[in-house]
Chain A
């Protein structure tokens, strides 16, 4: 077929099994509170829902140290 569009290279995202999902930026995230944008070269999306900076990861997924 003439003028067929080039197939787009798939965007690979990286899943940290115990942490965020890494997506190449810039990124827009639709959230219930509106669209959040990040221009960073890579963006870490929170998946544990503990982040205080949702939708971005703030490392709150890390296990808590046991109290000594």
Chain B
């Protein structure tokens, strides 16, 4: 097992689990027992580990802190008052959506780049890029849905469709992030 690979595996493991924590909401009452801010904390550490490996990744550190802080604030607000805080401020929420959209897009771009550098990693890189694109467009369509003059029934049907697409993309992304970790084996392949 090379030290180099071990560090990358650890970072990718952090990202994969962090992403899973962000995706999964297991609620006790209204409180998420798998808090999203823990996910961002894991990704924050991972960015540090991968800084030498992927040139653009450190650019995401401030965004990771920002998103983690917003999630922590919301989590505490739900814990103490039963309602998330950032959702109350429409414009702040929109800025958080922008940051989150960019953050996940660049994270997947950089990870796809990392995958592409590995032998036989190109299909994985391609899939990660597709997931990244679909997730970003899906998020914009979700936002746009609130402004389109659809009837309630049509809007609900479209929202459900977008939600299903988001779910499918999230599952594939989560799977691919764990698969990416496997691209960096613990032991050197036998000659």
Task: Decide if A and B are genuine partners.
Answer: no
